[in-house]
Amino acid sequence: MADSLRIYNTLTRKKEVFEPLHPGHVGLYVCGPTVYGDAHLGHARPAISFDVLYRYLTHLGYKVRYVRNITDVGHLEQDADEGEDKVARKARLEKMEPMEVVQYYMNRYHENMRQLNVLPPSIEPMASGHIIEQQQMVNRILQNGYAYEKNGSVYFDLKKYSETFPYGKLSGRVMDDLMTYTRELEGQEEKKHPFDFALWKKAGPAHLMKWPSPWGEGFPGWHLECSVMSTRYLGETFDIHGGGMDLVFPHHECEIAQSTAALGKSSVRYWMHNNMVTLNGQKMGKSLGNAVSLEEFFSGNHSLIEKAYSPMTIRFFILQAHYRSTVDFSNPALQAAEKGLERLFNGMRTLEKLKPAAQTTGWSNSEFRDACYAAMNDDLQTPLVISQLFEAVRYAHSVQAGTESITAFDLEELMRLFKTFAIEILGLHPEESGFSSRLPAALMDLIIRLRSEARKRKDFTTADEIRNELEKLGIILKDSKEGTEWEMKE
């Protein structure tokens, strides 16, 4: 394709041409979940957004090393430096060993990702599996003079740091803002300044997840793991760091400070952030009673959800918006997405059945291809790719209706392009959207043949019976002069 991939860099606030550090290779790090509860839309969106980036970079021929972490320790309530560890709290409530909680919710997260057709990352490191490496980074920061130890905890010295390095570049916050933002919490008196953050926290005797360290028994601060595991697997400087917009401050700002203080550089070349999701126009939250889990979306088992929505409907709905726009989930919007997705897959089936002709009218594969690549190259404009795919579906129907025609060569090329963008790059998997495995389709072909034979012999009772029975199963028959098509009722 003519133009290159451009991505919006949160750090510079503009779209930049993407050029990897090492030609042909891309290092990508994305903040993964804290595994103390079921995954919800706030987990699905970054996973799907960066899955599409991963798929597209791979499609472009890059060898991508994609690292997405699992936070299993050190993430305290309210994302602050005090309070209970989220995993340990859940373990206490459910009377389990913390690692049982981690394993349980991590397994469920993986199952949800599989359902959403999100490819597994190349490496999925756990914070608890990199304690030594985290202690090493704390040591480097201490040695470089940007941290101090107090009563067995180690804090990042933000004032000292900001004398040499700019703090707040990513989020646009200035140091003075921080004073206002910072809440007074227990243990704050250990800090030189309220906005200093913990690199290592001393653990009390009742604390379950703790390790020996040069500063006594404790556990790493939440921000530390990402600085450590990203550079451990991708090198001290790497290409892309992604995550949800809610992580820009303070999490990613702290990551930049940590890496700079330890390594003398901020490590990340392109920062990418997906926007937030809302439900019926509201921010989601446990206290608001509208934190619907992915499981609940898939089963329809929640008072705010009118029916079950398939994982592919959720994926498609998320990709219908650009990743930097907000997305509002609502029943009408999801049902529209469900219909749209079905129309897309039906269109793909129609394409597969088209009869080629001597010439192609009303269509240019190269325009279609260029428009799709242009959309993807423009900071992953998936909504534009989807609208191109719908153009192709409309065209397929025109060919079927006989108002346009296509050659065998062009048809094959169109099919290939359609599948490349819909299945390979957007990751829309027809298998997951209801019913299209080989055997049921073959049974449907037989049933449709039996019905057509019944109609030929004027046995309309049987023909109607077949239509009605199928309708009970959610299958709609559509007769046309080309024959009978079937589709799943939305």
Q: Which residues contribute to the site for its own copies (CB under 8 A)?
A: 65, 97, 99-100, 102-104, 107, 110, 120-126, 128-132, 136, 211-212, 233, 435, 439-440, 442-444, 446-447, 450, 453, 462, 466, 469-470, 473
Q: How crowded is residue 3: how many other Cβ atoms within 10 Å of its Cβ? A: 11
Which residues pair with residue 76 across a beta bridge? 85
Instruction: Please name the helix (run of DSSP H) or strand (run of DSSP E) that holds residue 472, with its range, or none.
Output: helix 460-472
CB 68 within 8 A of CB 1: no
* Alpha helices, DSSP H, located in 320-364: 331-353
Neighbouring residues of 403: CB distance < 8 A, sequence distance ≥ 6 = 362
Q: How near is the Cβ of 451 to its own copies at its closest, in Å?
A: 9
Q: How crowded is residue 403: how many other Cβ atoms within 10 Å of its Cβ? A: 11
User: Nearer to its own copies by C-beta: 87 or 385?
Assistant: 87
Q: How near is the Cβ of 459 to its own copies at its closest, in Å?
A: 9
User: Nearer to its own copies by C-beta: 292 or 463?
Assistant: 463
User: Nearer to its own copies by C-beta: 89 or 110?
Assistant: 110
Amino acid at 219: F
SS3 446: helix
Q: How near is the Cβ of 475 to its own copies at its closest, in Å?
A: 9
Q: How near is the Cβ of 111 to its own copies at its closest, in Å?
A: 9
Beta strand 153-156 with 238-244: parallel, antiparallel or unpaired? unpaired
Which residues pair with residue 182 across a beta bridge? none
Q: How near is the Cβ of 131 to its own copies at its closest, in Å?
A: 6
User: Nearer to its own copies by C-beta: 2 or 439?
Assistant: 439
User: Nearer to its own copies by C-beta: 130 or 201?
Assistant: 130
* Order of all β-strands in the sheet with 63-68: 63-68, 25-30, 238-244, 268-274
User: Nearer to its own copies by C-beta: 412 or 465?
Assistant: 465
Q: How near is the Cβ of 156 to its own copies at its closest, in Å?
A: 22
User: Nearer to its own copies by C-beta: 401 or 450?
Assistant: 450
Phi, psi of 56 (to 5 degrees): -70, -45
User: Nearer to its own copies by C-beta: 128 or 320?
Assistant: 128
DSSP letter at 269? E
Q: How far apart are CA 252 and CA 234, in angstroms?
A: 17
Q: How near is the Cβ of 100 to its own copies at its closest, in Å?
A: 5
Q: How near is the Cβ of 96 to its own copies at its closest, in Å?
A: 8
Q: How crowded is residue 369: how many other Cβ atoms within 10 Å of its Cβ? A: 18
Q: How far apart are CA 264 and CA 241, in angstroms?
A: 18
SS3 378: strand
